[in-house]
Amino acid sequence: MRVLVVDDEIKNAELTALALRDAGHETEFVNGGLPALKRLEAAPFEAVVTDLRMAPPDGMALLGSIKQRWPDVTVVLMTAYASMDTARRALKSGAYDYVDKEGEFREELKSILEKAERERRLRADNERLSGTVDQLTRGLATIIGGSRAIQQAVELARKVAATDSTVLLRGESGTGKDLFARAVHFSSRRAAGPWVKVNCAALPESLLESELFGHEKGAFTGAIRQKRGRFEDAHEGTLFLDEIGELPTSLQVKLLQVIEEKTFTRVGGNQSVSVDVRIIAATNRELEEMVRERQFREDLFFRLNVFPIRLPALRERLEDAPALAEFFLRQHGASADKLTQEAHRALGRYSYPGNVRELENALERALILAGSDPIGVEHLSFAEPEGAEPGGRAAAGAGWVPEIPPEGLSLELLERELIVKALARARGNKSQAARLLGLTRRTLYSRMERHGLRKPGEPEEGGDEESPGDQAANAAGRGDTRP
Q: Count Cβ atoms within 10 A of the Cβ of residue 132 and give its class: 0-12 exposed, 13-18 middle, 19 or more buried.
A: middle
Beta-carbon count within 10 A of 361 CB: 14
**Residue 53: φ, ψ to 5°:** -90, 105
93-141: per-residue pLDDT in tens?
889 988 888 777 888 899 899 888 888 877 765 655 454 444 444 577 7
| 244/325 Cα distance (integer angstroms) | 29
Checking if the pLDDT of 359 tops 60, the result is yes
97-100 and 167-170 beta bridge pairing: unpaired
- Sorted by sequence, the CB contacts under 8 Å of residue 450 that are 6+ apart come out as 293
pLDDT category at 400 given cuts 50, 70, 90 is: low
Mean pLDDT of the chain: 83
Region at 273 (left for phi over 0; alpha for psi -120 to 50; beta for the rest): beta
How confident is the model at residue 476, as a pLDDT? 41
Q: pTM score, two decimals?
A: 0.56
Checking if the pLDDT of 271 tops 80, the result is yes
Q: Which domains does the chain have, with CATH numbers?
A: 2-118 (3.40.50.2300), 139-310 (3.40.50.300), 314-399 (1.10.8.60), 411-478 (1.10.10)
At 436, is the secondary structure helix, strand, or coil?
A: helix
| 479/220 Cα distance (integer angstroms) | 50
324-337: per-residue pLDDT in tens?
999 999 988 898 88
Beta-carbon count within 10 A of 413 CB: 10
How confident is the model at residue 440, as a pLDDT? 82
Checking if the pLDDT of 207 tops 50, the result is yes
Long-range contacts of 53-60 (CB under 8 A, 24+ apart): 53/79, 53/80, 53/81, 54/6, 54/7, 54/8, 55/8, 57/33, 58/33, 59/6, 59/33, 60/89, 60/90, 60/93
Amino acid at residue number 442: R
Checking if the pLDDT of 240 tops 60, the result is yes
Complete DSSP assignment for 199-237: ETTSS-HHHHHHHHH-B-TTSSTT--S-B--HHHHTTTE
How confident is the model at residue 290, as a pLDDT? 94
Complete DSSP assignment for 293-352: TTSS-HHHHHHHTTEEEEPPPGGGGGGGHHHHHHHHHHHTT--GGGB-HHHHHHHTT---
Checking if the pLDDT of 284 tops 90, the result is yes
| 160/181 Cα distance (integer angstroms) | 11
Amino acid at residue number 96: Y
pLDDT category at 456 given cuts 50, 70, 90 is: low
| 267/218 Cα distance (integer angstroms) | 10
Return the bridge partners of 274, or none: 263
Q: What is the mean pLDDT of residues 255-273?
A: 90
